[in-house]
Amino acid sequence: MCSGRVDLEFILRAFSKGMDGVFIGGCRLGECNYITHGNYHALNTVLLCKRILEHIGLNPERLNVAFMSSGEGLLFSREVDKFNRTVRDLGPLAVGEGLDPIEVKAKLEAVRKLIPYIKITEREKLGTPLKSEDQYDGLFTLEEIEHLISEPLSYYIDPDKCQACMICARRCPVQAIEGAKGQVHVIDQDKCIRCGTCYQACPSRFSAVQELSGGEAVPPPLPPQERALPAKGKAS
């Protein structure tokens, strides 16, 4: 499997399941067998994930990526042995950092819910091939990741503006919008991946979908019994 297909979700899920370290091996940079150069994407994903681990309080050395050809078995063996020693010295996940494993698991699960949002927000950087190791540290900053995770964008449908046109519900890629014709639509915040599709799809003449930033609290949803819109032509 191409290293470019190693998703951020795979890495964080491994840590949330209690893995003490994650090692990713890929083809040498610039020597991709395909036109995708997925190994650059794998490198950037690892750099992003290392910052996420730092944000949580875990040692980023628990995650490593190495690049080599399929014929370099000795190099692969050396890299894996070195990584095993590193993880052994770090100790068990969370415990080695003096953290509560239950709290760390909860933080990892919370970040996993934000993965689609993080990937959309950082898609340009994730797709940028790095030419030298000097660029690694500056690609993602800890402050940037802390802002992404602590203050993610949220979306909310203003019940006073919604016209139940169904456009946002049809466009939502994860079916997170509840509603039907004649009923005010509501975004299920537990399903929402914060992609902004609903915000872009909502007709400008309605502007019912609101973008909330800076960690602003999402207003409570309208109760189901109050979602019916008045029939057109009748007094409300």
Ordered per-residue pLDDT tens for the chain, 236 residues: 788 889 999 999 999 999 999 999 998 888 877 777 888 999 999 999 999 999 999 999 999 999 998 889 999 999 999 999 999 999 999 999 999 999 999 999 999 989 999 999 999 999 899 988 899 999 999 999 999 898 889 999 999 999 999 999 999 999 999 988 899 999 999 999 999 999 999 999 999 999 998 778 899 999 999 999 987 655 44
User: Is residue 74 located within the same domain as residue 138?
Assistant: yes
Task: Please tell me what DSSP assigns to residue 63.
Answer: E
User: Is residue 25 located within the same domain as residue 137?
Assistant: yes
CA distances from 78 to 73, 74, 81, 89, 209 (A): 9, 6, 5, 17, 53
User: Is residue 92 located within the same domain as residue 80?
Assistant: yes
User: Is residue 44 located within the same domain as residue 118?
Assistant: yes
Count how many Cα atoms sit within 13 Å of the Cα of residue 217 in the half-sphere of its side chain: 3
From 150, 183, 204, the end of a domain falls on 150
From 150, 183, 205, the end of a domain falls on 150
User: Is residue 140 located within the same domain as residue 163?
Assistant: no
User: Is residue 132 located within the same domain as residue 72?
Assistant: yes
User: Is residue 25 located within the same domain as residue 95?
Assistant: yes
User: Is residue 41 located within the same domain as residue 81?
Assistant: yes
User: Is residue 59 located within the same domain as residue 159?
Assistant: no
For 207, the domain range is: 153-236
- The tally of domains found in the chain comes to 2
User: Is residue 42 located within the same domain as residue 103?
Assistant: yes
User: Is residue 48 located within the same domain as residue 92?
Assistant: yes
Alpha helices in 91-222 (DSSP H): 101-113, 115-121, 123-126, 136-139, 142-150, 167-171, 197-201
Which of 34, 32, 37, 41 shows the shortest CA–CA distance to 11? Answer: 41
Predicted TM-score (pTM) of this structure = 0.82
